[in-house]
Amino acid sequence: MSVNWVMLSKTEGFTPLPGEQRLYTSPPRTTLHLQSVNKFPGHEPYSITSSGGCVHLTNRRIVYLPSSPTPQLTSFSAPILNLQDTHVTAPFFGPNVFTAILKPVPGGGIPAQHVALELKMTFKEGGAYDFSTTYERIKERLQQAVEVARDNGYNVRGDGSEQGGGQGGVLPGVNMGNVHLDELPAYEAEGRSVPLPQPIDVRGASGAGHGIPSMPVERDSDLGPEMPQSQRSPDVRSPVQQTFSPPAEPPPGYEEVQSQSVADELERRMRRSQ
């Protein structure tokens, strides 16, 4: 995070860094408020406010350019991975606010005693959720690139934040220009089954009962080719062709059980009548 370190441009607003891509620009009435989080005794609190300006989101940093620059604030920038606890709040009355905790970059114009600052950007003309969604996507891709660099043996800080240089430090082993930032295409499962070829019947062309025999039809399974109906065994029937036939005779011992049940019922009734 740095103050008044952005190289300004009359045509594009600011001069991008090598390999830097601009991905989002807010409406012009976006405010900025930056203040120290911990107010220790003897340390003067740090605070910067801008009532209007544009915030630009790139693949490396956040750049804020006030509409009316002052000697205290002509520009503000912060590396993507130096922002923590980012979220959007939607008040009952008023515009949405993007809030984050920032870690200052050494040499970026912030007093060294302030190790963390609170950033609030109020989007008076909308765009807070668009900004937040784009930021979270870029942050996720950069964190993945940091993890890959750490696995390859590069000495990257545990939080992945950039260090040194007011315009944005360097992440060892991470090429910002090669980080994939586009949305990945949605996954669409392709069906495994394909239309089965129909057997060719050429009996009409070469005479009745003569011609090329039908070949076995390949099925999309591990059961092998399906044999023609004429070559199947007559004893093999499909489950659809098999029908259930009820038995014609009662099971063994059915009459004895039935007689015993009747005798028990008569004895029970006689006991009740007594």
- CATH number, domain containing residue 48: 2.30.29.30
Distance CA 270, CA 264 (A): 10
Q: Does a structural domain hold residue 133?
A: yes
Neighbours of 17 (CB within 10 A): 18
The answer to which of 113-127, 221-235, 251-265 has the lowest mean pLDDT is 221-235
Non-local (6+) Cβ contacts of 183 within 8 A are: 137
H/E element holding 81? none
Q: Does a structural domain hold residue 71?
A: yes
Distance CA 209, CA 207 (A): 6
Q: Look at residues 33, 47, 118, 48 and name the one whose alpha carbon lies nearest to residue 84.
A: 118
pLDDT band at 239 (very low <50, low <70, confident <90, very high): low
The one-character DSSP state at 80 is: G
Instruction: Please answer whether residues 215 and 226 qualify as being in contact, where contact means their C-beta atoms are separated by less than 8 angstroms.
Output: no
252: left (phi over 0), alpha (psi -120 to 50) or beta: beta
Range of the domain at 111: 2-169
69-85 CB burial, b ≥16 within 10 A, e <16? eeeebebbbbbbbbbee
Q: Does a structural domain hold residue 26?
A: yes
Q: Does a structural domain hold residue 264?
A: no
Neighbours of 180 (CB within 10 A): 9
pLDDT tens column, 173-218:
566 555 655 555 555 555 555 555 665 554 544 444 444 444 554 4
Q: Look at residues 229, 23, 48 and name the one whose alpha carbon lies nearest to residue 132.
A: 23
Non-local (6+) Cβ contacts of 151 within 8 A are: none
Q: Does a structural domain hold residue 247?
A: no
CA dihedral angle for residue 223, residue 226, residue 227, residue 229, rounded to 10 degrees: 130
Q: Does a structural domain hold residue 259?
A: no
Under DSSP, is residue 131 helix (H, G, I), strand (E, B) or coil?
helix
pTM: 0.61
The answer to which of 103-112, 129-138, 140-149, 246-255 has the lowest mean pLDDT is 246-255
In the chain, how many domains are there? 1
Q: Is the pLDDT of residue 50 over 60?
A: yes
Q: Does a structural domain hold residue 113?
A: yes
Question: 65 or 177, which is more confident?
Answer: 65
What is residue 168's predicted lDDT score, i.e. its pLDDT? 53
Q: Does a structural domain hold residue 257?
A: no
Q: Is the pLDDT of residue 238 over 80?
A: no
